[in-house]
Structure 1
């Protein structure tokens, strides 16, 4: 009698359907999202291969990798066939993809507009379930000197001290700065606190002869630029 503890592996698939072999023959681009995730999972459960578990996982997030990236470790481990080790592997792969996108954007161009800022931060922040507050420090040519995360909060907000923002800018000899945070709710409109903080930062930066060029709010859809809307 077959043991109930036996897990189906990718090797249980027909050879033509094995994602590792398929990647080796045809390249990673030839694989579906489920096949790529199946490689990360390695094994399935007693009734499903790793690819079938991956297909079910993707179905739970409407086939959206962006929605998948929003899941926490706890949410992933509640899915049958995905334990802590597999969940951590998935989250690590998604984080590498996020960092690669952000790194490429920073290295690719100077900051000329809110579009440049969104290209950097939307891949990093749009799918987070909590708020993060970042600053971009720029030289006189609007080239990025440094980007730094200054705080992390909950779903409803994060606390930022303008003194910390300006201290970092002065230490790095920045000529200008742009601050960025995300709204997990998906609503790009600034809150009263966002507006008040922007005014404080603008006044403080002027004292040090540093230009606050923009405050950008990131969501997974439309983003908001204080500069584009004439608030700065």
Structure 2
């Protein structure tokens, strides 16, 4: 059944206009992005089925490649690219949130910022928060991406960015896709190197977080800085 045969209240586009974007379910939003379903399913039904495979989690959906999305009946290359594009816009919007409203007062505050980008990844990434004298975020950035094993960090690039943003302190973080929160010997080594490099530039390393899907490890909380 196509959308045009559904009751008006169930048509995503019409519902968007009549009731506003907040009235739409996740599957209705995804249906609008796709535009159509397949011979057996409406766009809403197809969207609902796709979302169910990722536990109705937008972040998990964003991890699917174009090829992964094309495995669903009715999702060709154009639809898959549309879905991936919409999710990437969402990611970039999150990166561009007004930073001066976010103040870091604890490791948990930093974790809440980092987990949006790191907690569900299947590969390692290394991120940094650049802070001003009031511990407010002035910029956040992904410095490197790696395989399952590691993400390589270039300390020179890290502090070049810190100087460009006139940061007085930084908080770094990376994820462990394995789920282990135990810092490796390399994690400890790079933390010490970053801290020592920061001393020369008077840019303090406040913390290094290791994230899993549901928790985190803080070097500062464990007195390992």
Same fold (TM over 0.5): yes
CA distance in 2, matches of 1:169, 1:33: 38
Which residue number corresponds to residue 55 of structure 2?
62
Report the Cα offset of residue 212 of structure 1: 0.7
TM-score with structure 2 length normalisation?
Answer: 0.88
Structure-2 separation of matches of 1:95 and 1:13: 30
**Unpaired runs of 5+ in structure 2?**
none
1:42 maps to which residue?
35
Using the TM superposition, give the Cα deviation of residue 178 of structure 1 relative to its aligned residue in structure 2, in angstroms.
1.3
Deviates more, 1:22-31 or 1:184-193: 184-193
In 2: Cα distance, 1:37 partner to 1:77 partner: 15
Contact 1:131–1:152 (CA under 8 A) maintained in structure 2: yes
Q: In the aligned structure 2, how far is the partner of 1:103 from the partner of 1:171?
A: 17
Change (3 A) 1:228 1:102: farther
Residues 99, 124 of structure 1: 8 Å contact kept? no
Question: Residue in 2 aligned with 1:31?
Answer: 24
Closer/same/farther in 2, CA of residues 143 and 15 from structure 1, 3 Å limit:
closer
**So what's the TM-score if we normalise by structure 1?**
0.86
From the superposition, tell whether residues 93 and 171 of structure 1 become closer, same or farther in structure 2 (CA, over 3 Å).
closer
Partner of 1:152: 145
Q: Equivalents in 1 of 2:56, 2:166: separation in Å?
A: 45
Change over 3 Å in CA distance of 1:165–1:102 after alignment to 2: closer
Residue 93, structure 1, aligned to residue 86, structure 2: yes
Structure 2 partner of 1:4 = none
Equivalent runs, 1:159-198 vs 2, <5 Å = 159-198=152-191
Q: Deviations over 1:42-80 (max 9, x none)?
A: 111122111111121122223333322322222111121
Residue 119 (structure 1) aligned with residue 112 (structure 2): yes
Unaligned residue ranges in structure 1 (runs of 5+): 1-7
Q: CA deviation at 1:102?
A: 4.3
Spell out structure 1 runs of 4+ moving beyond 6 A: none
CA contact (8 A) 2:95 2:140 kept: no
Counterparts of 1:186-225 in structure 2 under 5 Å?
186-225=179-218
Change (3 A) 1:191 1:80: farther
The structure-2 alpha-carbon separation of the partners of 1:12 and 1:82, relative to structure 1 and needing over 3 Å to count, comes to: same
